[in-house]
Amino acid sequence: PGGFSSFINLRIYMDYNATTPPEPEVIQAISEALQDAWGNPSSNYIADVTFVPVSKVTARVEVEDIIAAVRPNTCLISVMLANNETGVIMPLQEICQRIKSLNKQRERLRILLHTDAAQALGKIRVDVSDLGVDYLTIVGHKFYAPRIGALYVNGPGTKTPLYPMLFGGGQERNFRPGTENTPMIAGLGKAAELVTSNLSDYESHMQRIKLYLEERLQAVFAGRIRFNSHFLGSDILPNTCNVSILGPRLQGWRVLSNCRRLLASVGAACHSDSGNRPSHILLSCGVPSEVAANAMRLSVGRETTEADVDAVVEDLRETVQLLEEMN
């Protein structure tokens, strides 16, 4: 156990888009809730779905493409706020404004708007009032909280429709039966409080470290590197660097599996069943197949340092050299 712990401590984690460690304050909030608040606190549907592709220039879903896809029976539009592989931020506020204008012109049920803000929260400002959404979902393990999610609804059951999928107890105002997981809820709340208080510091630190990472990668692998998170006219998350080192034996999975210190992934953990195939997200963004096959998603966190970056880039340099010598 001691040796294993020492080995793990030598590794450098750069997969913060997959999951983040809970902050000490979050762990304390969970522990206190387990000790002090241990008591009980309290159908199938068929839909016709239209998928709107992203632009191969900007890697964003474009506003006009969303509007063009609206049909007479459209009742809900769902757009992720930021992509978890490229880090590209979607023009959600503009989409919401256009749809609300469209709603005023339509003599029918209004179109509701949902966003998945899991990758954005804790990295950029997320304000439901500014965005204009009806629904917003988050999950704790993306911003240093436990693995528990939350759904924001603008006026649940009154201004905005909300119906239970399960039936039983009357918890959560009859919207979701089942005993609430108080410690995890407390941890999620504490993590959100930390984001509210410290977002500016978190964002500027991650942006600075990511830029340093990209500079070092460019310096070491000059002429044979492609950043798959840089798209014309698009803003990206401050912590996300999707990069390919070009070469016939330098597929992302192969490079990462031979690194001694770097812990990262080739893409989204929720698509890990895709094996070693190139990311369909990168392909849909116009990234060539041979480049997408070599992609690695490096996502820095609140505690990542320039020394970590130096060690990771050296690890990648040594790994690439090893793989090319084997070839």
Minimal CA–CA distance to 143: which of 93, 84, 91, 86?
Answer: 84
- Give Cα separations from 7 to 2, 49, 199, 262, 318 (angstroms): 9, 47, 32, 12, 19
Tokens at residue 280, please? 């369909």
**Whole-angstrom distance, CA of residue 42 vs CA of residue 35:** 17
Q: Which letter, b or e, does each residue of 181-199 get, where b requires 16 or more Cβ atoms within 10 Å of its Cβ?
A: ebbbbbbbbbbbebbeeeb
Report strand pairing: 112-116 vs 76-80: parallel
Angle at 174 (CA atoms; ends 170, 178), nearest 5 degrees: 55
**Whole-angstrom distance, CA of residue 263 vs CA of residue 165:** 38
Torsion of CA 80, 228, 206, 92, to 10 degrees: -20
Catalytic-residue membership of 270: yes
3-state percent helix, strand, coil for the chain, nearest multiple of 5: 40, 15, 45
Catalytic residue among 75, 259, 270, 285: 270
Residues annotated as part of the active site: 270
